[in-house]
Amino acid sequence: MVEIRIADSCISDKWDDYVNDHPAGCVYHLFGWKNIIEKSMGLKSHYVYASENGKICGIVPLFLSSSVLFGRYLTSIPFFNYGGILADNDLVAGILFGHCGIIARSEKASYVELRHISKLIDNVPVKSHKARMVLALDDDPNKMWEGFKSKLRSQIKRPMRENMNVVFGAKELVADFYSVFSNNMRDLGTPVWSINLFTEILEWFGDHTQICMVYHKGLPVASGFLVFYKDSAEIWTASSLRKYNNLSPNMLLYWRAIEYACKKGCKKFDFGRSSLNSGTYRFKEQWGALPEVLNWQYWLPQGAKLPEINPSNPKYKLFIMMWRRLPVFAANLIGPSIARNLP
């Protein structure tokens, strides 16, 4: 008989063993995110697992977001591309999905968003308008370079001619990373996450993460946050300063990140999610990355519509325009209290 239980720190090692052993387990299923997101973002979590004969047979990590602007909802997991239910079979997945609905009702949440790659639950609402872009890697980065089109290699060489240099590191680079990241988020009209999110990730998952920085004449001009797990490297977030766009520091950032992943023995480089056929989709496609359509699945109350909390929603247009006009220091001061409740 399958039993549903609430997870606490006592079960964390068994939880992570289950994730590590499951072929579909991803880094965002690991138990450490409970501590990271609770501490840095202040969100309430529900970590639920299914057990049969004393063994874990399925898990789902959920976080509750609540604000006047965006409503009240649960996500597995927020801020990242992946998560959702992980289970031994369809029966267990269905039981966990049903329990997501029970939690949603108890929390008075309007929906649950499960960030699945493949469709895991039959006959439930799904969004498939985004894809992750994945590049197959060679052990030898020189072979990757040779496989790029001449135009792409030329774009990468442009910042090299400007003597831009790339540095990989961890906590010592957080301030420089955040200076580029927060500027870019302001320019996009998006409230920025707290710097504490990044420091907590590096604290908990130092073996799985690296910051990549591009410098020009000693100044940080581009930054990326890399996450490694199993045979994959993911560039979770990447930013560059718009005033340096003509020098293409982002091209050098991505190339050095790919090169670094090859040398670490990774087999795949995940560029993250993009809307199908968007500008960022085409940018990633030029590197040779192939799309894998994502299937974000939802628990909704009967008769409810799918949520549309995204920058393309017309109701947020004025907010985005106003946010872009803020000084960076003001956006960094106000942003985290808003961003913590964005999906």
Same-domain check for residues 284 and 140 = yes
Q: Say if 327 falls within a structural domain.
A: no
Residue 290: CB atoms within 10 A of its CB come to 12
Asked if 238 and 212 sit in the same domain, the reply is: yes
pLDDT (tens, 9 = 90+) of the chain, 343 residues, equals 899 999 999 999 999 999 999 999 999 999 999 999 999 999 999 999 999 999 999 999 999 999 887 889 999 999 999 999 999 999 999 999 999 999 999 999 999 999 999 999 999 999 999 999 999 999 999 999 999 999 999 999 999 999 999 999 999 999 999 999 999 999 999 999 999 999 999 999 999 999 999 999 999 999 999 999 999 999 999 999 999 999 999 999 999 999 999 999 999 999 999 998 899 999 999 999 999 999 999 999 988 888 876 666 666 678 778 878 889 989 889 989 998 988 7
pTM of structure: 0.94
**Other C-beta atoms lying within 10 Å of the C-beta of residue 262:** 21
What is the rounded distance in angstroms from the CA atom of residue 293 to the CA atom of residue 306? 18
Report residue 265 as tokens. Answer: 């023995």
121 and 145 in a common domain: no
Do 150 and 287 belong to one domain?
yes
Q: Give phi and psi for 13, each to the nearest 5.
A: -65, -45
Angstrom distance (rounded) from CA 332 to CA 339 = 10
Residues 120 and 145 in one domain: no
Query: Under DSSP, is residue 165 helix (H, G, I), strand (E, B) or coil?
Result: strand
Shared domain check, 118 and 150: no
Confidence (pLDDT) at 12: 96
Q: Is residue 9 part of a domain?
A: yes
Count of domains for the chain: 2
Residue 331 lies in a domain: no
Statement to judge: residues 206 and 288 lie in one domain: yes
β-pairing verdict for 130-136 and 290-293 = antiparallel
User: CATH number of the domain that 280 lies in?
Assistant: 3.40.630.30
State whether 225 and 165 are in the same domain.
Answer: yes
Q: How far is CA 302 from CA 124, 292, 305, 306, in A?
A: 11, 30, 9, 11
Domain span including residue 172:
132-293
* Helix, strand or coil, per DSSP, at residue 331: helix
Query: If you write DSSP's letter for every residue of 167-199 in order, what string do you get?
Result: EEESGGGHHHHHHHHHHHHHHHT-PPPPHHHHH
Residue 332 lies in a domain: no
For position 221, what pLDDT does the model report?
Answer: 98
Closest to 248 (Cα-Cα) out of 185, 151, 152, 158? 158
Residue 85 included in any domain: yes
